[in-house]
Structure 1
Amino acid sequence: MTELHGHGKARHRRKKTALLAGAPLALAAAGAMAYGTAFGVFGEGARPKASAAAAPAWADDTADGFASVHALGQKGTYGGKGGKTVTVRTLADLEKYATAREPYVIVVAATIPMNPKGKEIRVASDKTIVGAGTSGHIVGGGFFLGQGVHNVIIRNLTIRDSYQGIWNDKEHDWDAIQMDGAHHVWIDHNDLRRMADGLIDSRKDTTYVTVSWNRLSDNNKTFGIGWTENTTADLTIHHNWFRETGQRNPSTDNAAHAHLYNNYLQDAPGTDITSSYGNYARGRTKMVLENSYFEGVNNPVIKDGTAGLVQRGNVFTRTSGRNESGGTAFDPKSYYNYRLDKAADVPALLTSGAGPRSSIGTTVSAGPATAAAQSTLTVAKDGSGRYKSVQKAVDAVPAGNTSRVVIRIAPGTYREAVKVPANKPHITFEGTGRSRKDTVIVEGHAAGMTKPDGSGTYGTGGSATVAVEADDFQARNLTISNDFDEAKHQQLNGQQAVALRTAADRVRLDALIISGDQDTLLLDTAGKDRTGRVYLTNSYVIGNTDFVFGRATAVIDKCVLTLKKRWNGTSAGYVTAPSTPAGRKGFLITRTTIDGDVSARSFHLGRPWHAGGDASLDPQTTIRDSVLGAAVKAAPWTDMGGFSWKNDRFAEYNNEGPGAGAAGVDRPHLTDAQAATQETADWFGGWKPTGA
């Protein structure tokens, strides 16, 4: 904030009444980030040729893990890329294109019931079948990939409900995805549940398979691998959430190389489904099991005497029974590169990030008033893009731009401060790496630092690594960081160091890492009387002191707010510091995890920031349907600058985790009636952010 807070004098505010109304969860409209079509105002090098459309980022995604390996005449797994993109809403159309000989990208944009029930569409090679945001559902059946079928991506779908009421069903071999002798298959970001038989069956020498970022739940025989005497199959299984699954999680029979990492196996107590075992290495399987998290699972890891299973870095909580390892396996990095997340981070990472995502499978179609062609600019440190810096690309956008400009930023670290001025709306920043970690925009300015031209200090807002002042801004798949070193600058008066500042309306942010210490994310408006709506999803925000703050109307949905220690190793801090004007909505944090590697009961969820001592403000933070770690104080709200939080709007609803607590005088909870008016859709009025 503008004044020092958290370690010095904080001059802010005081307020009045309590809980105001808010808005429903879920995004509103369709599509994810808006990605530009071709044609441009920047010259030949700034756009694709002729009238071809610039593909959204998900259309360029290719598999990692064993599905990325060049083998059997196939160079990785890229599905129907290069073929025609079709949108289907009926079973007839889905089957027509999935079984065709030509490559297709098939976007499923509706709920499609299988007829007859249990039907498995026989998918041909060179196909991508992808759900449009969260709207693609296959009900009562699934997909079959037969002998020799290859280069198939099944992604972002919900495949569910062929279950016939028989838990150990021997009669209905109705799977969500069955593979018999296929190769080079990528199964990613799906929600698979309640099938009569398996959620995934990888059988009969199916190989070069990657299964990633899926939710697998409410099923008995979940994920079986093998059914062969040959030891040929190579599979990578990472970042999947197995919840309430009985067996085969997975069961891996005679796999030559099975690499399992960063998976979350969860058996919640008191439910009707009890796990019989977790990961199982059978026969002559060679398995490497790394940095996974097992919670409440019976017999979490089992191996046959003939199998090799190497464990490292796994976490076991409330597990019982067999937990085995032994023999030799293999080095996954001799086949492909990968990066491990910490096992302790896996539950939060997967509960917020596994399953279908609003930013996959969608594009934004221009209506009559916005039919002007959109443009794409490229940035790359090595000179392979049109620009080497992000700011140079922003500078190239003409003032008063009326159609979307997508700035695609290649992997790399861009040390620069970037400003998107108010006269350049409709800009998208899009990292093009496989991970949000691959593309990093970073600077290290702090509020009290003197500007290079000697014109004064940066101030809190001026310290931002990325400052967005233009409406209709979007960003996805990158990291924005302020790496100011507090430890080295303890003499500095003004250690606020903002990573991202938004002072604009209709800002859409997805799949980001926003990292700093004090005042990481400033969600502001262009003026006290101006609206500033922000929707942040599927992202990490990292900090320790008021690290989400400002006067914007903002929803933080399905994110991880990561608490970090101060520069001297102490644990103390504040998550939010809203400065909401009266009559407006402030911060709504929903379906989010708040935790970190800090001491128990050391962080407040928020405090009221009356910027400049403005008593007319009415700060608001509502945290609902979220997981609160042990770091959260039992009395989670506190005063600031002489203003009592009890005179403002701070509340919780339906949270869980060790940091959650019962309603009380120091911990107000919404009633059900109040909660019904404080959901995501309520927060944005007439704006329907893309990404629903």
Structure 2
Amino acid sequence: MRSVYASLVFVLVSVPLMGGTTLGVSVDTSLAVLITVDQSGKGDFQRIQDAIDAVPSFNSEQVFILIKPGIYRERVVVPEDKPWITLSGTNATSTIITWSGAWDTLESTTVSILAPDFVGRHLTIQNAYGAGAQAVALSVFGDRVAFYACRMISYQDTLFDISERHYYSNCYIEGATDFIFGNALSFFEKCHIHSTSKSGGAITAQKRSSVDENTGFSFVSCKLTGVKSKSVFLGRPWGPYSRVVYADTYMSNAILPQGWSDWNNAITQRTSFYGEYKCYGSGARNTTRVKWSHQLLTLDEATPFITQTWINGQDWIRSNPTHFKKPSFPLKNEGDGLESLDGY
């Protein structure tokens, strides 16, 4: 067990995670059950999905699944009845989950998070299908979900940020067409967003459908880059009340001068909310932006979007576990978590 705990010392850096209750159950956030996944056979499991399937339904304690370096060629699903799971590698460049699926946004997904109170750390999540079809790397349904220092890579529809509240910190997200999309309330902090579009791509396609919906994407202290100059929009409206804000973010010359697209629907120019605050770089020249976007000129205007209160993070961000224990449940495969996608 010494090597396992040495790995934990490496991955448990001082970044906040999550806290709270699920289904009225109080969880000790300082303590976690430890399960290891190692392709060499030296861990508890050799497949990530087998480790997840071993966790009891409606578990009431944190489960920390430590994934040893390797390329894991499998689809992974965390079912909605298995909260409080963490999947953690030791380094995103050496711990890779990859699949090659396309067309259906859910059935093609490499990793699907249906459960609340999930954490992903130090992982590369990749859909290797390439261009030509929807090929999702990561789909996130669950509430109070966070990813730290992860890499999400695909071409079209990389991150399906479907619903509920999510936090992404120091992540790398790569794609070409609408590659961050959905109707979640999400906060992206210190993330690197990279476009592989050669022409007319879009970073976001946010789906807010009503002025009463509290959803949207906020990017703070991020970096936007691309493979070609003037090749990608900041966003376009999947829903009529689409809401996206970039603040204190570096924008390279990959960003199109007009910034935003109405997706050939002029009505959304009146109903969507696309804002920028104190962004910089050659792609951030606001004098060329479409007139219906919002240049947030004061701190008061920007404040609702630029802190973790945007996602009520003060209620569910928590510290890392400080103590670990062996599982009290049998380490055996209790079923196929992929079946949990059938209802979606």
Band the TM-score falls in, shorter-chain normalisation: 0.7 to 0.9
Give the superposition deviation at 1:403.
1.0
- Matched to 2:309, the amino acid is D
Partner residue in 1 for 2:297: 671
Relative CO higher for 1 or 2, CA cutoff 8 Å, sep ≥ 6? 2
**1:661 counterpart = 2:285:** yes
1:637·1:666 contact (CA, 8 Å) conserved in 2? Answer: no
8 Å CA contact 2:273–2:294 kept in 1: the answer is: no
Aligned-residue offset at 1:571: 3.4
- Asked if structure 2 preserves the Cα contact closer than 8 Å seen for 1:56 and 1:363, the reply is no
Alignment of 1:163-312 (within 5 A): none
Q: CA deviation at 1:619?
A: 1.3
Match of 1:541 in 2: 173
2:221 is equivalent to residue 591 of structure 1: yes
**What SS is found at the alignment partner of 2:140?**
strand
Q: Could you say which residue in structure 2 is the equivalent of 1:479?
A: 124
Counterparts in 2 of 1:74-473, with a 5 A limit? Answer: 133=14, 358=15, 369-371=26-28, 374-432=32-90, 435-447=91-103, 459-473=104-118
Partners in 2 of 1:427 and 1:420 — Cα distance?
A: 8
Match for residue 575 of structure 1?
203
1: distance between equivalents of 2:218 and 2:148? 16
Deviation, 1:581, is: 4.4
Residues 609 and 363 (structure 1), Cα distance of their counterparts in 2 relative to 1, 3 Å cut: closer
In the alignment, what sits opposite 1:630?
253
Maintained 8 Å contact 1:635/1:666: no
Q: TM-score, normalised by structure 2?
A: 0.82
Query: Counterpart amino acid of 1:415?
Result: R
The structure-2 alpha-carbon separation of the partners of 1:365 and 1:586, relative to structure 1 and needing over 3 Å to count, comes to: closer
Question: Which of structure 1's runs of 4+ aligned residues deviate more than 6 A?
Answer: 362-366
1:632 and 1:383, CA in 2 relative to 1: closer, same or farther beyond 3 A?
same
Tell me, in whole angstroms, the C-alpha distance in 2 between the residues paired with 1:675 and 1:602.
27
For residue 500 of structure 1, the aligned residue among 138, 141, 145 is 138
Q: Among 617, 620, 623, which residue is 2:243 paired with? A: 620
Q: Distance in 1 between matches of 2:7 and 2:43?
A: 16
**1:463 Cα offset (Å):** 1.3
CA 1:519–1:56: 2 relative to 1, 3 Å: farther
Looking at structure 1, the residues matched to 165 and 5 of structure 2 have their Cα atoms a distance apart, in angstroms, of 27
1:638/1:645 contact within 8 Å kept:
no
Counterpart-to-counterpart distance in 2, 1:607 and 1:543: 15
- Count of aligned pairs: 308
Q: Using the aligned pairs only, state the percent identity.
A: 31
Deviations 1:487-538 (A, max 9, x none): xxx5xxxx1110000001000100001000000001112xxxxxx1100011
Contact 2:35–2:64 (Cα < 8 Å) also in 1: yes
Task: Give 2:98's aligned amino acid.
Answer: V
1:572 Cα offset (Å) = 3.1
CA distance in 2 between partners of 1:363 and 1:577 (Å): 27
Return closer, same or farther for 1:424/1:364 CA change in 2, 3 Å cut-off: closer
Tell me by how many angstroms 1:417 deviates: 0.6
- CA spacing shift, 1:363–1:634, aligned 2, 3 Å: closer
The residue number in structure 2 matching 1:344 is none
User: Cα distance, 1:585 vs. partner?
Assistant: 3.1
CA distance in 1, matches of 2:75, 2:159: 15
For 1:541 and 1:662, locate their aligned partners in 2 and report how far apart those are by CA, in whole Å: 24
TM-score when normalising by structure 1: 0.42
Largest Rg, 1 or 2:
1
1:682 aligns with 2:309: yes
Query: Partners of 1:513 and 1:463 in 2: how far apart?
Result: 18
Q: 1:630 aligns to what SS in structure 2?
A: coil
Distance 1:388 1:644, change over 3 A: farther
Contact 2:18–2:318 at 8 Å: present in 1 too? no
Q: Pick closer, same or farther for the CA change 1:369–1:674 going to 2, 3 Å.
A: same
Q: Identify the residue that residue 121 of structure 1 maps to in structure 2.
A: none
Q: Distance in 2 between matches of 1:580 and 1:691?
A: 31
Aligned residue in 1 for 2:185 = 553
Contact 1:608 1:644 in 2 (8 A): no
Contact 1:609–1:641 under 8 Å retained in 2 = no
Distance of 2:263 and 2:207 partners within structure 1: 11
1:601 offset after TM fit, Å?
Answer: 1.1
- The alpha carbon displacement at 1:596 in A equals 2.0
Tell me the residue number matched to 2:159.
521
* Residues 1:661 and 1:58: Cα distance change in structure 2 (over 3 Å): farther
Contact 2:20-2:315 at 8 Å conserved across structures: no
Q: Does residue 609 of the first structure (1) align with residue 238 of the second (2)?
A: yes
Distance 1:446 1:629 in 2: 30
Distance in 1 separating the partners of 2:27 and 2:293: 47
- Alpha-carbon distance change, 392 to 607 in structure 1, aligned in 2, over 3 angstroms: same
Rounded Cα–Cα distance in structure 2 between residues aligned with 1:446 and 1:655: 35
Alignment CA distance shift 1:516-1:643 (3 Å): farther
User: Residue 130 of structure 2 contacts residue 154 of structure 2 at CA under 8 Å; is this kept in 1?
Assistant: no
Match of 1:648 in 2: 272
